Amino acid sequence: MAISQMHDPVATENEDPLNQSKRVHQEPSHEEIARLAYVYWSQRRPEDGTAEDDWLRAEATLRETGSNVENRR
């Protein structure tokens, strides 16, 4: 690997703060969770769960996938 291709930790630390903020993890919004919970609710049979199950599943899914600034656009 050429030296120019190596990772430079100093360059990352000195990176433009606006670019760094795009990578900051944010909690999913109420609206994001509600939308995904509705999708889960609409795809299951009533006897296979509750609206609360759908909400918790949506919340966990969005946290795992990293609901961040770039995903909210």
- pLDDT reported for residue 66: 79
- pLDDT reported for residue 35: 98
Is 16 inside any structural domain?
A: no
Q: What is the mean pLDDT of the chain?
A: 75
Cα–Cα distance for residue pair 31/33, rounded to 1 Å? 5
| Neighbouring residues of 61: CB distance < 8 A, sequence distance ≥ 6 | 36
Is 51 inside any structural domain?
A: yes
- The answer to whether residue 62 scores a pLDDT higher than 80 is yes
| Domain of residue 47, residue span | 28-73
- The answer to whether residue 48 scores a pLDDT higher than 50 is yes
Q: Which amino acid is at 8?
A: D
Q: How many structural domains are present in the chain? A: 1
Angle (CA) 51-72-52 rounded to 5° is 10
Q: Between 20 and 40, where is the model more confident?
A: 40
pTM comes to 0.57
